[in-house]
Amino acid sequence: MRAATTIEAASLGTWDHQRIFVSEAEKMGLDICWVAEAWGSDAPSALGYYAACTDRMLLGSGIIQLGTRTPVAIAQAAVTLSNLSGGRFLLGLGASGPQVMEGLHGVPFAKPLGRMRETIDIIRQAIAGDRITYTGKQFQIPMPGGDVKPMRLSMRAEHEIPLYIASLTPAMLRLTGEVADGWLGTSFVPEGADDAYFAHLDDGLGRSGRTRADLDICQGAEVSFARDEAQLKTMIDARKSELAFSLGGMGSASTNFYNQAYSRQGWADVAAAVRERWQAGDRDGAAALITDDMILATTLIGTADMVRDRLQVWCDAGVDTVRIYPAGDTIEERFTTLGAAIDLVHSINR
């Protein structure tokens, strides 16, 4: 398996701290560094800086959010980052959610599936060096009604640019299997993955005449090492409020993809109750409903032996790349956890 991590530039302090983090992570053997946008720093700017600070590891946008840029602007950023990094760039796209799209960017979140498909079609035209012409429900290029002509980018892609989709819903998972090179997943429970995720991915793969071997299954989870069971219990309890926020507060009042994902993996009643209490303002009550099993099933926390065993379960379930979110109160603690986790990931064989 490959070892990856996801960072957000704004969370790493100064740019000098970021340079140290990515360069040291590369020395530790990290295979991929994904860069998130969320509602902080943008991904492409940070990726360009990280490309200058590294020599070997792959760098990916995890994710560029649909609606924040036109498809051609995404293609321009992808080609630029790929060329300047010597072919080390991976393009990760995601629909985000209504709160960020509509609440922060002021653009509609409606019809994310159609927007994703059309965006990818246009991006691939642009990357291929073709004149860009597209007539869809979301985009029309060139704009109709004028006397403009189709254009192509003046810069050519010097390397292949693998495309990943961050997806949780069945429809977006099917699209991922159909058109993407990789899947950026989360809220992953290997014991329930066949019905919740893989059945939909395989459906999409079948539509394009491909198999699971043609898709990089990239899953992420927090990694933290406990000395003993007492410390592990403390770690579990400390994470219940965060999971309650994901199930109850992420997205909008009507749309929460994390809640839906947990519901499909056996916790529908708990997820519904957590959301109800969270929306009612009872944050502590929502967190109290989170079970220990829910934390352990979707994270990689425990003793070193527990984490190694869990990684093997992930590998056996079909995970190709593990996105490590190293726990720690300081950058030194995060480095220690990251290094140990990279070694464990690389030690796992399918």
Residues 135 and 89 in one domain: yes
Q: Do 264 and 138 sit in the same domain of this protein?
A: no
User: Does the pLDDT at position 134 exceed 70?
Assistant: yes
The domain boundary residue, chosen from 264, 279, 299: 299
Which helix (H) or strand (E) element contains residue 140?
Answer: strand 140-141
Alpha-carbon distance values, 106 to 38, 39, 61 (Å): 15, 13, 22
Give 156: exposed, middle or buried? Use CB within 10 Å, 0-12, 13-18, 19+. exposed
**Separation of alpha carbons 182 and 202, rounded Å:** 13
Q: Are residues 110 and 219 in the same domain?
A: yes
- Provide the percentage of residues in the chain whose pLDDT is more than 90: 80
Helix/strand/coil for 282: coil
Q: What is the pTM of this model?
A: 0.91
My answer on whether 280 and 142 are in the same domain is no
Check whether residue 136 and residue 179 sit in a common domain: yes
Whichever domain contains 64, its CATH number is 3.20.20.30
Residues 129 and 41 occupy one common structural domain: yes
pLDDT tens digits, one per residue of 14-43: 888 888 999 999 999 999 999 999 888 899
Give dist(CA 283, CA 226) in Å, integer: 26
The mean per-residue pLDDT over the stretch 302-313 comes to: 95
Number of structural domains, the chain? 2
Helices assigned H by DSSP within the chain = 15-28, 43-53, 71-84, 98-100, 112-127, 170-179, 193, 199-207, 229-238, 240-248, 257-262, 268-279, 283-288, 292-298, 304-317, 331-347
Location of structure tokens 């995060």: 334
92 and 60 belong to one structural domain: yes
**pLDDT beyond 60 at 350:** no
Going by their DSSP bridges, the two strands 89-94 and 58-61 should be labelled as parallel
Q: Quick one: average pLDDT of 152-178? A: 97
Do both 270 and 311 map to the same domain?
Answer: no
For residues 166 and 44, give the distance between their C-alpha atoms in angstroms, rounded to a whole number.
17
Same structural domain for residues 91 and 168? yes
Task: Check pLDDT > 70 for residue 344.
Answer: yes
Identify the pLDDT of residue 251.
Answer: 66
Q: Are 193 and 217 in contact (CB under 8 A)?
A: no
The pLDDT, as a whole number, for residue 68 is 93
| Res 98: pLDDT | 85
Q: What is the pLDDT of residues 217-268, one digit of tens each?
A: 999 999 999 999 999 999 999 999 999 998 998 866 667 878 888 888 888 9
Q: Whole-number mean pLDDT of the chain?
A: 93
* Region 63-92 average pLDDT: 97
Q: Which DSSP state fits 142?
A: S
Q: Which domain holds residue 269?
A: 227-299
pLDDT of residue 252: 64
Task: Out of 259, 277, 299, pick the residue that ends a domain.
Answer: 299
Q: Lowest-confidence range among 73-77, 103-107, 302-306, 330-334?
A: 330-334
Which of 260, 278, 299 marks a domain boundary? 299
Averaged over 338-349, what is the pLDDT?
Answer: 94
User: CB–CB of 262/271 below 8 Å?
Assistant: yes
Is residue 73 located within the same domain as residue 142? yes
Q: Are residue 204 and residue 125 in the same domain, yes or no?
A: yes
- The predicted pLDDT at position 261 comes to 83
Mean pLDDT value of segment 57-76: 96
What pLDDT is attached to residue 129? 96
Whether residues 142 and 193 share a domain: the answer is: yes
What is the rounded average pLDDT of the residues 169-188?
96
